[in-house]
A and B are shown apart, each in its own frame.
Chain A
Amino acid sequence: MKKQFILPITAIALTCGFASCGEEEANEDATKIEKDGPDMDTTLTVDDQRDLDAHTPNKLPTPNMFFEVMSSIGGEANMDLVNPVGNKDNYVTKNQQALNFGVYFADMAYMLNYNNTIEVAKYFEALKEMADKLDAGVIFSEEVLNKIQAQGDNKDSLASISEGAYIDTYAYLEDNEMGDVLAYMVTGGWIEGMHITANMIGEFKEGSELIEEFAAQHIMLESIYENVLIYSEQNEDLLILEAELSELQALFDEGFVDSDETASVETEESGKLVFSESSDIKLNAELFGTIVEKIESIREKIVKNELN
């Protein structure tokens, strides 16, 4: 229900600039919206603003941030977990390329944060090739590629260049109204990150910090899901991915625990605030196993082109 009445509104947002649309309508007392479903009540009140706010595209952290945190907790590099760079030629459609573009970005972030820099340049070259096919090649100039190749195994420099490339790509796709490509890229990257993390964790261990971080990723899933929903207005193929993510989200929700704990805020001497509030998702061995199974299934479909 929520999805059905939110989408037409976001569709308006996608097609109007603030100056071209918003101002023209600013003097009208009421604005009308066409809706397909005859029985759908789309009359919104001020109370619905929260709902709209929550369903606007979210800006999301990079795969590098994710692996920076994970590597500070534990795990080690295992090249068997990444998508081999040789698979890049298997991705032919725009959707396949965009998904695996995200996968390769995540693989590169994983390698960099777990100090395995040997294949980074190869993955960067693959990203450049895929970016060209996605009409985003402008980000991966020869100059950037040469910089990467000149760094050797200087992990910090490589990480800085790859992080910059990810941020530039993200902005380029947003600015050029390629939100659907962006949604695929971010989802592919996140699923790959979760696949790698799940395999680094292996067996479920109660109280494991890696598992807590794995569980906390449901907040990223929420945001990614919202973005996929919004951008499916541009590319309805995204609804296939939306269905997969919705099932995954339902599994995480099974781990929800009610708590009366409130968030706390402390102030350090430096003036820095410290927020504290424990996660409301707790996983047990069975649920962890089910979630991992679902993630592996989605990841398999992404890298083997079975999703679209």
Chain B
Amino acid sequence: MKTLNKKIIGASLGVFLFGSSIGQNCNEEYTYCDRGKDKNFQMSNQSVSGTFAAGETHEVSLILYKGTDYRLSFCSNDEAMDGKIEYEIITRKKKRVLDPTTKRYVFKEQEESLFKNTNNELAQTVEFQSKDTKKVYVKVTLPTGASEGKNKNSLKASDAVCVGMLVQHQKGTTTGFNRQG
């Protein structure tokens, strides 16, 4: 028997549920998120929903195909949280380093922030494109005070809040005048 920090178990469960969309009546929260006006955007299979406790941060990976436009939109079933969900898009670059103990090369990852909505007026939607096919991670935080509102969807009253991340995509577009010559 080994001891495990309970916060880690809580976090792992929460993250798992976010990643797999399993949770009480919380499978399709993302379908309530704002879809925007551009009808060319289609819902992506990478959209997720999950149950969060106030103050928790969970993370999901997102595979971006080159030249494709993406739109992320966040929502929850807690009215008090409308417009307040925090998120950050990060990338992790691998570095090969020599492990002094084993004398073998291992991969370490270096994190870089690409977008943080707390630096952008808590924008609940963001549109982006990647020039290369790559994997990014989205860290989503439900701020404290999340459970003070009233659930507006199907989840029964509890401390948990259902959070949705709608992912939409469309063939990439570039804006501006075409240059000739």
Contact = CB atoms under 8 A, between A and B. Distances in A.
A93 B83 CA distance: 48
Contact of B46 (A30, A61, A69): A61
B16 A166 contact: no
B94 interface: yes
Contacts of A285: none
A278 interface: yes
Contact of A56 (B3, B20, B67, B171): B20
Contacts, number: 230
Interface string A243-279: 0000000000000101100110100111111111111
Contacts of B19: 56-59
Interface residues of B, number: 73
B51 interface: yes
B112 A275 contact: no
Interface string A1-26: 00000000110111011110111011
A213 B15 contact: no
Contact of B8 (A14, A48, A263): A48
B13 A272 contact: no
B101 interface: no
Nearest to B16: A13
Given A18-B17, A18-B160, A59-B60, A32 B127 contact: no
Considering residues B69, B134, B158, which has the most beta carbons from chain A within 10 angstroms of its beta carbon?
B134
Given A26-B10, A52-B12, A174-B20, A277 B134 contact: yes
Contacts of B46: 59-61
A299 B130 CA distance: 30
A72 B67 contact: yes
B104 interface: no
Contacts of B60: 56, 58-59
A219 to B, nearest CB: 4
A281 B158 CA distance: 46
A49 B131 CA distance: 30
A12 B15 CA distance: 13
B151 to A, nearest CB: 14
Contact of A17 (B4, B24, B174): B24
Contacts of B22: 17, 174-175, 177
Given A18-B160, A56-B12, A57-B19, A223 B2 contact: no
Contacts of A52: 8, 11-12, 15
A40 B4 CA distance: 13
Contacts of B10: 22, 25-26
A35 B2 contact: yes
B160 A275 contact: no
A1 B11 CA distance: 21
B6 A272 contact: no
Nearest to A169: B45
21 contacts: A10-B12, A18-B24, A18-B51, A19-B24, A23-B158, A25-B9, A31-B6, A45-B8, A52-B11, A59-B47, A60-B45, A68-B68, A174-B21, A174-B22, A175-B22, A216-B133, A223-B63, A262-B93, A275-B128, A277-B93, A279-B132
Given A18-B51, A19-B158, 8 more contacts: A31-B3, A32-B3, A46-B8, A52-B12, A61-B63, A216-B132, A219-B133, A275-B114
